[in-house]
């Protein structure tokens, strides 16, 4: 008959296996969540809706090499296989100047070319939408700023300015380039661009 010592070892082994399986399942769920919610990171301008973009992008890195503003970075393998080596822009570090060079070199149409004009941006660029946190914005507390307005390539269209240079966003006209977020003088930033990562084809 098995000794009590060996029986105890088997129990500990079973408990250990159960804990390892639980940790593995938790890690998988966390990884899935990270892939679905990649954070405040924007796709480059001209990007197709996320489901189409993921299928079209071949991870060639050409968009990043062509970017004269050096704002395009790439996800690593820790972001999950679905995101790995795909391009993103972190607006707080460096926004997009909307030159369109990245879309021009994209070989698959994952980034659709657009005319680098206000009309071309409004019609074809949907990177995200900027939102102002009035509780943090200097201009809403009597300290004139206006840095976000000055940085916006669509002044008077995507962003309006009021007394003390208080910014007001016009969401339907915001292309989400992130230049306002980069320019914000408040830490943490009082204006953030919410990415359009979760857009589906039916929502575009």
Candidates 3.20.20.70, 3.40.50.2300, 3.40.190.10, 3.30.70.20; correct CATH number of 40-203?
Answer: 3.30.70.20
pLDDT of residue 8: 53
Model pLDDT for residues 89-123, shown as the tens digit of each residue: 999 999 999 999 999 999 999 999 999 999 999 99
Nearest alpha carbon to residue 174 among 189, 190, 157:
157
Torsion angle, alpha carbons of 95, 99, 102, 104, to 10: 160
- The mean per-residue pLDDT over the stretch 148-162 comes to 97
- On average, the pLDDT of the chain sits at 85
Supply the pTM of this predicted model.
Answer: 0.77
The fraction of the chain above a pLDDT of 70, given in percent, is 77
- The mean per-residue pLDDT over the stretch 53-58 comes to 96
């Amino acid at each position: 008959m098995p000794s009590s010592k060996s029986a105890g070892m088997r129990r500990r082994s079973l408990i250990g296996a159960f804990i390892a399986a639980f940790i593995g399942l938790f890690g998988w769920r966390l990884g899935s969540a990270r892939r679905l919610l990649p954070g405040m990171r924007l796709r480059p301008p001209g990007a197709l809706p996320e489901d189409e973009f993921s299928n079209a992008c071949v991870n060639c890195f050409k968009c990043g090499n062509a970017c004269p503003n050096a704002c395009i970075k790439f996800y690593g393998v820790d972001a999950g296989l679905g995101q790995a080596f795909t391009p993103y822009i972190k607006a707080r570090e460096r926004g997009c100047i909307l030159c369109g060079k990245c879309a021009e070199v994209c070989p698959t149409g994952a980034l659709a070319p657009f005319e680098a004009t206000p009309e071309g941006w409004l019609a074809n660029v949907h990177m995200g939408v900027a939102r102002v946190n009035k509780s943090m914005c200097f201009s809403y507390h009597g300290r004139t700023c206006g840095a976000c307005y000055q940085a916006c390539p669509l002044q008077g269209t995507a962003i309006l300015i009021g007394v003390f240079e208080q910014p007001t966003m016009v969401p339907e006209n915001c292309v989400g380039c992130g230049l306002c977020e980069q320019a914000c003088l408040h830490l943490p930033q009082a204006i953030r661009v919410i990415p359009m990562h979760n857009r589906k084809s039916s929502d575009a």
